[in-house]
A and B are shown apart, each in its own frame.
Chain A
């Protein structure tokens, strides 16, 4: 994690396009996306994606930028959701008059308040103690949510109706697509704010405290205060994400603040990569796709996600964005073409191996969970009988031969990698 989030270049000399280009690109992308993917399921997926992007970025303010590993960050997400859904009901009951699109800010505020209360004691230390307190607080509040039914609604949760607010410009949020633009707008604003936060002196100090808290103290910064500010900001944005969740689903339950959600956000942030600002965005997109698409095809998608997560932690701790970023030196030296063939040579057998293993797991799962007497299963359109030997030979053969050939190609890939990065001696051994 020693990779600094952004290598700062001289800001003033950066041309306009390079400075604002990504943001304009992001804005246009957010506007255009629903025209490209216009089906209901796509809009649903993108809504979820937007919420998780904000949540994961907020989480990475702690993990990646502040070096604080939290196992209970869903608390602020969930509390933000509950607060927003209560405000939604107040609007419906005409206790207060508010446009619906402003609701997530209340989620953010309660996230901020709770982050301040809890952070005031939990950020005194980093590392394991912080992780343990976050776990304890997370479990505590998740358990409390089942006891205090008035606020948390017990096991059923709290429901609301997002269409009951005053209409503005004819938008009443009855359609998912309207909610999409709401989420996209909030996502754009919060991504921008979080990016700016990471560039402020405060954000830089968070990095410094992460890397060496003692030295940061010697420069004259209180490490506790720096961590607390990061924590509060993170809680605020997590609360906003929770508020958007409430608007999107119109229901918030205990599950939104328990350990499972906390684990999910850690998982997607880490798979995306904690060392880069865009890492959590990539992670959230991939995780949501896995969750919504993969779960259509297989019942054991969580097993694949678990495997992916453990393998990421073991072999690619810099995450997927880190993996891509590793190629920047070679790309700048225009040596990517030299890596193409080696990647192909290792990629094809690896893909066969993965396909074989997935086929094996699917077949085993089918044999164990199918109704008695049902032996036919179909995999990628191929029908076969699980109680004959041939499919087993095929999947095992694919796994073993693919693995064998992939392993035999490792040395040539390493060679090609070393030649591609030859002058960058510091990058040696970084190949995975």
Chain B
């Protein structure tokens, strides 16, 4: 039991930190532009694919740097020539634009790289078990993922709170007009933050690609979960996004590893349900089965009872 909890905890933290790398960019972009970027997870997918192609030629490590930069530049260009143009049609059009972009990127990816899964693998130097605990291996690559994610989190925190750039970004978020009056190029700041947010998503893709397989559906798999995190944590709140990422990451891994079902509870209570009726599936429902719906359940509950999210201050 202890080893189960231990490994679920570690895996949950890996997933949670990975999700945070996506959610942090998304929530920053949201606080600036008020737009939830549906295509954010698509940039994550692009990161994985770029890194895969780069790793074919020059190996994993250059891809770790080049792929996020490419994704960031692409994101900045899309902000400059796409999103800023659509802005004139209003919020709903922006939301629909990012939605269409997500659809388009998925099609472009399957056009360029094909629909099948790519053999994008972790570098050989990280293909060993870091430690063995109760007979179970913990791969070094996961430790590497944790390390990169934490490093990025700290760097992001330091840049936002300790540097001049971070100050300008914070000012541009809360008082864009005043910041522009003071002579800062606010649209440029927006473009930069959008680009950096996309680059973070791309980096998440680079390191997640080998662990979670690289295929054209990978954006869809993670996309709506990242939304859940941003909304549950509170729109525009980085701290909230961090907490929500860990909650969702842990919730998913624990739900999969703990095999309890409704019938267990019922047998404790000495109730035998009928196995014929229309609700028969309800009695055999087990925790791993409901694992995929838990985040959405959380989302709906949060939106009903606390629309601002856990740490958020504003609704939309």
Residue contact B99 to A136, C-beta cutoff 8 Å: no
List residues 295-332 of chain A with CB under 8 A from any CB of chain B: 300, 302-303, 306-307, 309-310, 313-314, 317
- On chain A, the residues within 8 Å of B296 by CB distance are 136-137, 139-140, 143
| In-complex Cβ contact of A314 among B86, B106, B107 (8 A) | B86
Closest to A129 in B: B316
Output the least CB separation between A5 and chain B (Å): 16
Output the least CB separation between A116 and chain B (Å): 15
A266 within 8 A of B: yes
Residue contact A129 to B100, C-beta cutoff 8 Å: no
| In-complex Cβ contact of B100 among A148, A149, A302, A313 (8 A) | A313
A338 within 8 A of B: no
| In-complex Cβ contact of B307 among A129, A300, A302, A310 (8 A) | A129
Q: Binary interface profile of A, 63-80, with partner B (CB < 8 Å = 1, else 0)?
A: 100010101000000000
A313 to B92, CA, bound (A): 10
- On chain B, the residues within 8 Å of A33 by CB distance are none
- On chain B, the residues within 8 Å of A317 by CB distance are 86, 89, 93
Q: Which of the listed residues B36, B106, B293, B297 has the most CB atoms from chain A within 10 Å of its own CB?
A: B293
A128 within 8 A of B: yes
Residue contact B289 to A306, C-beta cutoff 8 Å: no
Residue contact A266 to B99, C-beta cutoff 8 Å: yes
| In-complex Cβ contact of B297 among A140, A270, A306, A310 (8 A) | A140
- On chain B, the residues within 8 Å of A361 by CB distance are 111
**Main SS at interface, chain A:** helix
User: Given that A147-B281, A149-B281, A368-B114 are contacting pairs, would A135 and B227 also be in contact in the complex, using a CB cutoff of 8 Å?
Assistant: yes
Closest to A317 in B: B89
Output the least CB separation between A429 and chain B (Å): 11
A369 to B112, CA, bound (A): 10
Closest to A369 in B: B114
Residue contact A266 to B289, C-beta cutoff 8 Å: no
Q: Binary interface profile of B, 80-101, with partner A (CB < 8 Å = 1, else 0)?
A: 0010011001111101110111
- On chain B, the residues within 8 Å of A1 by CB distance are 90, 92
- On chain B, the residues within 8 Å of A149 by CB distance are 281
Output the least CB separation between B237 and chain A (Å): 15
Residue contact B100 to A309, C-beta cutoff 8 Å: yes
List residues 50-89 of chain B with CB under 8 A from any CB of chain A: 82, 85-86, 89
A317 to B281, CA, bound (A): 45
B104 within 8 A of A: yes
User: Given that A147-B290, A150-B278 are contacting pairs, would A309 and B104 also be in contact in the complex, using a CB cutoff of 8 Å?
Assistant: yes
B146 within 8 A of A: no
- On chain A, the residues within 8 Å of B153 by CB distance are none
Closest to A69 in B: B92
| In-complex Cβ contact of A303 among B107, B224, B235, B303 (8 A) | B107
User: Given that A128-B95, A263-B99 are contacting pairs, would A303 and B278 also be in contact in the complex, using a CB cutoff of 8 Å?
Assistant: no
Output the least CB separation between B267 and chain A (Å): 20
- On chain B, the residues within 8 Å of A129 by CB distance are 303, 307, 315-316
User: Given that A133-B300, A133-B303 are contacting pairs, would A313 and B293 also be in contact in the complex, using a CB cutoff of 8 Å?
Assistant: no
Q: Binary interface profile of B, 98-134, with partner A (CB < 8 Å = 1, else 0)?
A: 0111011011100110100000000000000000000
Residue contact B93 to A313, C-beta cutoff 8 Å: yes
Q: Which of the listed residues A129, A135, A144 has the most CB atoms from chain B within 10 Å of its own CB?
A: A135
Size category of the A interface is 35 or more
A259 within 8 A of B: yes
Q: Which of the listed residues A63, A69, A306 has the most CB atoms from chain B within 10 Å of its own CB?
A: A306
User: Given that A147-B290, A306-B104, A313-B97 are contacting pairs, would A136 and B307 also be in contact in the complex, using a CB cutoff of 8 Å?
Assistant: no
Residue contact B278 to A151, C-beta cutoff 8 Å: yes
A122 to B106, CA, bound (A): 29
Closest to A309 in B: B100
Residue contact A300 to B111, C-beta cutoff 8 Å: yes
Residue contact A137 to B300, C-beta cutoff 8 Å: yes
Residue contact B279 to A150, C-beta cutoff 8 Å: yes
Q: Binary interface profile of B, 280-305, with partner A (CB < 8 Å = 1, else 0)?
A: 11100100011011001101100110
A127 within 8 A of B: yes
Q: Binary interface profile of A, 112-136, with partner B (CB < 8 Å = 1, else 0)?
A: 0000000001100101110111011
Residue contact A127 to B100, C-beta cutoff 8 Å: no
A135 to B98, CA, bound (A): 15
A215 within 8 A of B: no
Closest to A152 in B: B281
- On chain A, the residues within 8 Å of B85 by CB distance are 314
| In-complex Cβ contact of A132 among B34, B104, B231, B293 (8 A) | B231
A128 to B236, CA, bound (A): 13
Output the least CB separation between B104 and chain A (Å): 4
Closest to A120 in B: B304
B238 within 8 A of A: no
- On chain A, the residues within 8 Å of B114 by CB distance are 368-369
Q: Which of the listed residues A69, A139, A307 has the most CB atoms from chain B within 10 Å of its own CB?
A: A139
A319 to B181, CA, bound (A): 37
Q: Binary interface profile of A, 252-282, with partner B (CB < 8 Å = 1, else 0)?
A: 0000000100010011001000000000000
A365 within 8 A of B: yes
Residue contact A150 to B281, C-beta cutoff 8 Å: yes
B228 within 8 A of A: yes
- On chain B, the residues within 8 Å of A150 by CB distance are 278-281
What are 22 A-B residue pairs whose CB atoms fall within 8 Å in the complex? A1-B90, A1-B92, A67-B92, A69-B96, A121-B304, A122-B303, A125-B316, A127-B91, A128-B316, A131-B36, A136-B231, A136-B299, A139-B224, A143-B293, A144-B293, A150-B281, A306-B100, A306-B107, A309-B104, A310-B104, A361-B111, A368-B112
Interface residues, chain B, with chain A CB atoms under 8 Å away: 34, 36, 82, 85-86, 89-93, 95-97, 99-101, 103-104, 106-108, 111-112, 114, 220, 224, 227-228, 231, 235, 278-282, 285, 289-290, 292-293, 296-297, 299-300, 303-304, 307, 315-316
Beyond known contacts A1-B90, A136-B228: 15 more, CB 8 A cutoff: A63-B92, A121-B303, A122-B303, A128-B34, A131-B36, A132-B36, A136-B231, A148-B281, A150-B279, A303-B107, A310-B82, A313-B93, A313-B100, A361-B111, A368-B112
